[in-house]
Amino acid sequence: MGEYQIVPDEQSLYKEVYRAHHARIVQLCRLWLNDPHEAEDAAQEVFLKLFQASKAQEASFAWRAWLTRVTLNTCRDRRRSSWWKWWREKSVEFEEMLLPSREPTPEEEIVSREQRAQIWGLFRALSARQQEVFALRYVEGWSVEEVAQMLGITAGSVKQHLFRAVRHLRKALRGQR
């Protein structure tokens, strides 16, 4: 019997949490890591941790916050350990087919393709901390206080990083208007 053999209850809990959070976690990894393959790997690592944790925790556990924090730490570790990949990562040109994306909704169509590319480009240019606070606040929807708690910094510091990130990212939208 393997180490990760789980009983039906644990398996159903894992599956339930996985289904509920998989897309969100993958997207967070894509936001915080430049390489899409590494983002996929990081997401897998997060769910492996979830698999292990699901054996010890109950269904009522705050999985959303826990997963976000684990994703944050996993991406941070990967960013730290993969500094040497900088050259390769920056020059990589992956095909669009590697990134399955759904058709944009009519609302999304308002933002042009160029603007979207520009927003992502500017987001990539933000500091790691600014990327973290922006994603947690405006992509994930956590409050400033919750973000501060997750990152272990003050709410004031979060606001400072957040405002700088917003000011920087709005340039992409202003450029088109």
Partner 1 sequence: MSRHLRDEVLWALSEGAGTSADRAHVDGCPACAARYQQLARDLKVLGQVLRESPPRQAALQPRRALQIRWAPAVAVMVATLLLLWGQEWLRVLTLPLSPLEARKNAETVRFLTKEIPLALFSTAELKPGKLPAHATNLAYLQAALDGGWPSEPCEPSRTTDCEPDPFSLFLEEYGH
Considering only residues 94, 109, 127, 175, which one is a binding residue for partner 1 as defined by CB under 8 A?
Answer: 94
Q: How far is the CB of 43 from partner 1 (least distance, A)?
A: 13
CB of 7 to partner 1, least distance (A): 35
Cβ atoms of 67 and 21 within 8 Å: the answer is yes
- Which residue of 116, 127, 128, 175 would you call a contact of partner 1, by CB under 8 A? 116
Among 6, 53, 111, 153, binds partner 1 (CB under 8 A): 111
Among residues 15, 90, 109, 175, the one that binds partner 1 under rule CB under 8 A: 90
* Among 16, 77, 108, 109, interactor with partner 1 by CB under 8 A: 108
| C-beta closer to partner 1: residue 9 or 108 | 108
Residues in region 8-27 near partner 1 by CB under 8 A: 27
Q: Two tokens at 120?
A: 């992502």
- Applying the rule CB under 8 A, the residues between 46 and 85 that interact with partner 1 are none
Q: How far is the CB of 74 from partner 1 (least distance, A)?
A: 18
Q: Does 139 bind partner 1 (CB under 8 A)?
A: yes
